[in-house]
């Protein structure tokens, strides 16, 4: 019975990590999620380095 309980706890503890891994494959990037020094490029739909003059 202890082995079954340990396996159940292990399986449940891995679920959040698997969900996060799934999200990492499909980033939901928007203009608001660009890091400092980056701007949203409408054409490519991604953040790009801000051009300097």
For the chain, where are the E strands, in sequence order?
38-41, 46-49
Helix, strand, coil share (%) of the chain residues, nearest 5: 50, 15, 35
d(CA 6, CA 51): 54
The pLDDT tens digits of the residues spanning 1-53 come to 799 888 877 777 766 765 555 555 445 666 677 888 888 888 888 889 988 86
The pLDDT tens digits of the residues spanning 2-14 come to 998 888 777 777 6
Domain ranges of the chain: 2-49
Tell me what pLDDT residue 19 has.
57
**Element counts in the chain: helices (H) and strands (E):** 1, 2
């Amino acid at each position: 019975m202890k082995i079954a309980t340990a396996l159940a706890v292990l399986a449940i503890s891995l679920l959040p990590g698997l969900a996060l891994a799934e999200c990492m494959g499909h980033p939901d990037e928007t203009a608001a999620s660009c890091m400092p020094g980056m701007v949203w490029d409408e054409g490519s739909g991604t953040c790009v380095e801000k051009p300097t003059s």
